[in-house]
Amino acid sequence: MVSRLWMALLCGLLNLLLATPSLAQTPLIFGVHPFLPATELHKRFQPLITFLMHELQRPVQFHVAANYAEHLKNLVDNQIDIAYLGPYPYIKLVHDFTQPRLLAQLRVNGENAYHGVIFTYEKASLQSLADLRGKRMAFGDVDSTMSHLIPLKMLQQAGVKKVDLGGFQHVNNHLNVVYGVLTGLFDAGATKESTYHQYAAWGLRVLARSPAVPNHVLVARATLPNAHIEAVKAALAKIGSGTLDTLILKPLKPNITGLGPVTDADFDGLRRLLSVPIPQRGQP
């Protein structure tokens, strides 16, 4: 039923867009980091892109960066206008480059935080993170919050350094991590909890769950005109908790329950955990 509603909404929006003369305007570029394969990201983000095109009455182009570092560079260099950012890429952007304009933050099961897991295959002899000494580990991108940086901190807290592993490899995205463990190329891997749950029934088991980390955010480049930023904020504010929310946001992650406000200070706990300096902030 939801699939039929989504198709009906998408077709209706496309018909409106094709009849709108404002499509001749310069498009806004919506950028995403490659946490999943590009084809999968295009599919998941298309309802949101179509919705923004309709609400803003202008074209919105979707762009997937080659890696996490390129995604940040694109935002800093004004090559993209709106970006979907994970929590560590966000604090890295603020620390190393510039403060973007925060638009909204995902809510997952009503919460503004999410978890990751370090997992293994179901029949493995591993019982704890300490057992990963001498074992092969799959990580995602080096700048990924839940498939590298937080798991690395978890290993360190368990007394396991990267050099203690029997080998490790950065396999670019969360799905590759899962596939690497399922196929036996690696003894364990790290991914966000939602990705793990999609494949857990295939024969996976959790070794450890991460602490809560702030959810992904939508941001605008610092130099985007205020009128554009306010228009995007107004559009995003229309996404509620009903059918529209289901059609637009659920493809991103099944347990998304909406969007909410966010401030830079919401990321200070993560900064402390990862030893990233907290920025000085002026008085409001």
pLDDT digits (tens, 9 = 90+) for 169-221: 999 999 999 999 999 999 999 999 999 999 999 999 999 999 999 999 999 99
* Higher-scoring residue by pLDDT: 52, 108: 52
pLDDT score recorded for residue 94: 96
Taking domain 2-112+214-273, whether its CATH number is 3.40.718.10 is answered by no
> In the predicted model, what is the mean pLDDT of residues 105-119?
93
Q: Are 175 and 145 in contact (CB under 8 A)?
A: no
pLDDT score recorded for residue 272: 95
pLDDT exceeds cutoff 80 at 12: no
Helix (H, G, I), strand (E, B) or coil at 130: helix
> In the predicted model, what is the mean pLDDT of residues 46-66?
96
CA–CA gap between residue 214 and residue 115 (Å, rounded)? 9
pLDDT score recorded for residue 118: 98
Q: Checking DSSP bridges between strand 28-32 and strand 60-64, what pairing results, if any?
A: parallel
Encoded amino acid at 269, one letter: G
pLDDT band at 245; cut points 50, 70, 90: low
- Domain ranges within the chain, ordered by starting residue: 2-112+214-273, 116-211
**Which of 166-170, 232-236, 269-273, 280-284 has the weakest average pLDDT?**
280-284
Please count the residues of the chain.
284
What the block records as the tokens of 84 is: 């979907």
pLDDT score recorded for residue 157: 95
How many whole angstroms from its chain centre is CA 175? 13
Which of 218, 208, 216 lies closest to 116, judged by CA?
208
pLDDT exceeds cutoff 50 at 17: no
Mark out the alpha helices in the chain (DSSP H runs): 2-18, 38-56, 68-76, 87-96, 150-157, 174-182, 193-199, 226-237, 243-249, 268-273
Same fold, 2-112+214-273 and 116-211: yes
Class of domain 116-211: alpha beta
Torsion of CA 91, 92, 98, 100, to 10 degrees: -50
**What Rg do the C-alpha atoms of the chain give, in angstroms?**
20
CA–CA gap between residue 146 and residue 130 (Å, rounded)? 19
Specify the pTM: 0.85
Which of 210, 61, 206 lies closest to 147, judged by CA?
210
pLDDT exceeds cutoff 60 at 56: yes
Query: DSSP secondary-structure letter at 222?
Result: T
What the block records as the tokens of 117 is: 């897991």
* Higher-scoring residue by pLDDT: 19, 173: 173
